[in-house]
A = this chain, B = another copy of it.
């Protein structure tokens, strides 16, 4: 594969990723959840299963724990999460989603599903499934949040 083709693939990938992020965010706003940025979505994804500590979140987002703490301040103030005492470590706080936080997470899922449905209309269901499988195989580990 030539460099120019690699660039075409890269550009398309980044454009799709950017559009997806934007449209998920728009979908979340349209469902009544305001004052949130895409970075919050990445935090919610980490908090969703069982909660997480600030340090966990920082590693997941690829930022300092101070930055993660500020982000938690923000989503707590806006009613999407709350700080609880950690059951196993008195130093730590367990950050968990509130009901509103869960509702917002579901809204993000719906918005994402809506975008993906648009892709199915273009590519067909099978190709989208293949896309999911292929991207899963080349996805790197490490912090989730794209660092640009």
Any B CB within 8 A of the CB of A70:
no
Copies of the chain in the assembly: 2
1/0 contact trace for A115-130 toward B, CB 8 Å?
1111110110101111
Q: Is the CB of B113 within 8 A of A145?
A: no
Q: Is the CB of A146 within 8 A of B18?
A: yes
From B8, B112, B147, A3 is in contact (CB under 8 Å) with B112
Any B CB within 8 A of the CB of A37:
yes
Q: Is the CB of B6 within 8 A of A139?
A: no
> From residue A44, how far is it (CB to closest CB) to chain B in Å?
11
Residues of A within 8 A of B (CB-CB), count: 63
Chain B residue numbers with a CB within 8 Å of A79 are none
Alpha-carbon gap, A110 to B10, bound state (A): 12
Q: Could you give 21 example pairs across A and B, Cβ below 8 Å?
A: A1-B129, A3-B112, A4-B109, A7-B109, A7-B113, A9-B128, A9-B132, A9-B135, A11-B144, A12-B135, A13-B17, A14-B21, A14-B146, A15-B140, A22-B146, A25-B148, A38-B148, A123-B137, A127-B134, A131-B131, A146-B146
Using a CB–CB distance below 8 Å, which chain A residues touch chain B?
Answer: 1-22, 24-25, 37-39, 45, 106, 108-110, 112-113, 115-120, 122-123, 125, 127-132, 134-140, 142-148
